[in-house]
Copies of this chain bind each other. A is one copy, B any other.
Amino acid sequence: MIITSSDNKEIKRVSKLNSKKYRELEKEFIVEGEHLVEESYKKGLLKKIFLLENENIEIDIEKIYVSYDVMKKVSNLDTPPKVIGICSLLKEKEVGDKVLVLDGVQDPGNLGTIIRSAVAFNIDTIILSNDTVDIYNPKVIRSTQGMLFNINIIRKDIKEEITKLKDKNYSIYTTNVSNGIDIKDVEKSNQFVLIVGNEGSGVSKDISKLADYSICINTNKNVESLNVAVATSILLYELR
C-alpha cells in the first residue's frame, strides 16, 4: 500500500513532529535522508521509515511507502528526501571526562555544527542549558551530519551540573572575549568542562563565576568575536 493522502492519520501525526511541543509529547523525532536514517538505525533509535514509492533501502525495520506529495508534506527540505525516519529520543548517559556546556546557544546551525565538532575532538558529553535550542530541531539535526548519534547529550540545570563537576575536580573553563587568557597559555587537563555562551551575550555571569579559568582565542583587534561554533571548535581543538 502507498499512502497518497496528507489527510492520512499517521501522516498527520508524523508531520506534527516538526514542532518541539509535539516531539516532547510523543517522545519521537524525525530524521531526513538515507545517511541519518542509517545512523539512527545503527544506534537502535529508528522505529519506522517512510519511503518514496519505487525506492528501497536495506534496513530491517517497518517500511511505509508514500507518494512524493506526502513526502513533501512531512519533509522540512526544499527537495524532499527519498526516506524519512521516525526515531526515539536519545538516551541521556553518565557525564564523561571531557564536557562541553552550552549556555543559551540560539541558532540551530550553530548547535548542529558544535555537536559535529565536539565528536571530531573527542568530547564525551554535551550539557545544554534549558534555554539552548532544541537538539531535535530539523536544522540542528541536519547540521550535525549524523554526529548527533555519536555523543552523549544532556539537558539539565547547568549551574547544578557544573558545581557537581567542580567538586569532582574537573577543570572549569569559560570563554571571555575581552578579558580571557590565551588558550595557548592555559594549563590543559584530562577532566574538564568548557562553557560557551549565547551568540550575542556570551556566558551568563552567574555561570562564569563557577569557572577556574577565563580563556580566549588571540585574534586581530578589529574582530570583536568569532562565530560561536567556530570559537567552540578551536577551543575544543586546543583542549583535546
Q: Verify B233–A120 contact, CB threshold 8 A.
A: no
**Minimal Cβ-Cβ distance residue in B for A228:** B113
Chain A 96-114, CB within 8 Å of chain B: the 1/0 string?
0000000000000100010
Q: Which residues between 206 and 240 of chain A lie within 8 Å of chain B, taking CB atoms?
A: 217, 219-220, 222-227, 229-230, 233-234, 237
Known interface pairs A222-B147, A237-B217; A230-B121 also in contact (CB < 8 Å): no
Q: Within 8 Å of chain B (Cβ to Cβ): is A15?
A: no
Q: Verify A227–B117 contact, CB threshold 8 A.
A: yes
Q: Smallest distance from the beta carbon of A55 to chain B beta carbons, Å? A: 21
Q: Smallest distance from the beta carbon of A140 to chain B beta carbons, Å? A: 13
- Number of copies of this chain that the complex holds: 2
Q: Verify A223–B109 contact, CB threshold 8 A.
A: no
Q: Smallest distance from the beta carbon of A173 to chain B beta carbons, Å? A: 17
A147 neighbours in B (Cβ, 8 Å)? 222-223
Which of B143, B150, B219, B237 sits near A120, CB closer than 8 Å?
A: B219
User: Taking each of A113, A145, A223, which has the highest tally of chain B beta carbons within 10 Å of its own beta carbon?
Assistant: A223
Known: A116-B223, A117-B227. 20 other contacts (CB 8 A): A113-B227, A113-B229, A113-B230, A116-B230, A117-B230, A119-B222, A119-B223, A120-B217, A120-B219, A120-B226, A143-B227, A145-B224, A145-B225, A147-B222, A150-B223, A217-B237, A227-B233, A229-B230, A233-B233, A234-B237
The interface of chain A, by Cβ under 8 A from chain B, is 109, 113, 116-117, 119-122, 143, 145, 147, 150, 217, 219-220, 222-227, 229-230, 233-234, 237
Q: What are 27 contact pairs spanning A and B, CB under 8 A?
A: A109-B109, A113-B229, A116-B223, A116-B226, A116-B227, A116-B230, A117-B226, A117-B227, A119-B220, A119-B222, A119-B223, A120-B220, A120-B223, A120-B226, A122-B220, A147-B222, A147-B223, A150-B222, A150-B223, A226-B233, A227-B229, A227-B233, A229-B229, A229-B230, A230-B233, A233-B233, A234-B237
